[in-house]
Amino acid sequence: MRSFRPLKPLLLASLIATFSLPAAAQRDVRFDAHGAPATGTLVLAVEEVAEGASRAGTFARLDAASNGALTRAAASAGFSGKLGSRLELPGMAGYDHILLVGAGSGPADAQRIEQVGGHVGRFAARSRAPQVDVVWDGNEPGAAAQLAFGATLGQYRFDTYRKQREDSPAGQGSLVVRSPEGAAAARSWDGDWQAVAEGVAFARDLVTEPANALYPEEFVARTRAAFAGKPNVSIEVLDVPAMERLGMGSLLAVGQGSVRPPRLMLVRYNGGARGEAPVAFVGKGITFDSGGLSIKGSENMWRMKYDMAGAASATGAVLALAGRGARVNAVAVAALAENMPSSTASRPGDVVRTASGRTYEIMSTDAEGRMVLVDALWYVQRQDNPTVIVDIATLTGAIVTALGNDYAGLFTRDDALATQLQRAGEAAGEPVWRMPMHPGYGKMLESPIADLRNGGGRPGSGTAAHFIGEWVDAGRAWAHLDIAGMAWRDGSEVSTVPMGASGYGVRLFDRFVRDNHER
């Protein structure tokens, strides 16, 4: 194994990280009494009604005060209040700007409210108004905080490397949520959902950063900064000598082609009973994936900065748990390396010995995600003995072919765990689809000279999951999430997920803990 020495290129990356600006200044969220202010910029969540039917609530009051102007504008534009529909009305009814957002029909659940909030957030992010007021007429418990949660997710943007405007920048100021809950809604927001929004933003920021600014050591530094001051948190970081002493030849093999040394980071949050086994989220953290000597094609290789999305989301999820004071013990594991081609890089055909003592033959150096995960899984099982492990990784293109950008692939042999993750995904708006783990997949990974091969055969996502599962103790609850199609959005719009890094997994894991592990 080569020794790692800091080289001059790291100095430039350090300067970039040091002098970069915050990802974006977002609007502060506040809560106030129900009802519309007399002037300014206003957003109304409008229920869906049949053509010609009248509306009640704030819409009706403002419509009456403007002699039916809102009704006429909605009818002219064909706006019925369908969920997700929007109608912008500048200079209307005495306001600088009115936005009507369709809220759908019937009692609204949390996801619908968050979707409406996402549209509010997107509008607020491009508005130059110093204050945007949004009115929610419904009486659903917690609706105001859920609306604020969706708005915060929707207003996210990453402006770190853009030239900053000096004149009235958009998206700054206040977002005031007005609902029947009034100012009391702030308690739910401050003590709960704001922390989850911060966890998502943290993950999105990490994934969006270019690889010359975010590499394994910098990932660790950003994590330390994010968790500074959080109670009941400890952070353990293994450097190269520590991993060499433990025999982590697999994680080291991935990073040995880069001048940026790998790291294994564990963030432990102890908010539950003393000594209780934690829930573990183990994330693939390849800060850039060139494919190594099995180099990728040049098209879209720029996106491979996102290959640490699993580690970002695992860490962001525990940041959310710590931020809201969740009554659970949890550990995030980030297996961090940069996969580069060089004279010191691993080669196809090499045999690697892992920390567990098991060996495998490298069929492709571009199957690096499973390589870093197996040493990470071994370590967290030995150190923390978790009650359940979920690993998360942008692992295979095969899962994108199978599921597109609508579901993450879920692999597990544990039916109860599968059900829990499926339900959590639906509730959080981050769905998963269970994929098979056929016993025959193991035959495709047999090697004539080692215990296993790190790839080969189809389906590629299934054999990858089987390989990872070989390092999980028998009888331990474990699931693998392949999020290759979900970590970066550049297609159809989702109101709470702007184009780019999604932070997928933070909301899913938070809901999974709420429903199944929090006391």
Annotated binding site for Mn(2+): 284, 289, 307, 366, 368
Binding residues, as ranges, are: 284, 289, 307, 366, 368
- Tell me, yes or no, if 305 is annotated catalytic: no
Helix spans in 137-280 (H): 143-154, 185-188, 194-208, 216-227, 240-246, 249-255
H-run or E-run covering 69: helix 69-77
- Tell me, yes or no, if 370 is annotated catalytic: yes
Set 61, 128, 230, 296: catalytic member: 296
Taking the alpha carbons at both ends of the chain, their separation in whole angstroms is 45
Q: What is the 3-state secondary structure (H, E, C) of 133-170?
A: EEECCCCCCCHHHHHHHHHHHHCCCCCCCCCCCCCCCC
Rounded to an integer, what distance in angstroms lies between the CA atom of residue 446 and that of residue 450? 8
* Beta-carbon count within 10 A of 106 CB: 9
User: Which distant-in-sequence residues (6+ apart) come within 8 Å of 208 by Cβ?
Assistant: 23, 158, 500, 501
Set 324, 370, 511, 514: catalytic member: 370
Q: What is the length of the chain?
A: 519
* Beta-carbon count within 10 A of 410 CB: 22
Rounded to an integer, what distance in angstroms lies between the CA atom of residue 380 and that of residue 183? 43
User: Which distant-in-sequence residues (6+ apart) come within 8 Å of 169 by Cβ?
Assistant: 25, 128
Q: What is the CA radius of gyration of the chain?
A: 24
Q: So which residues are the catalytic ones?
A: 296, 370
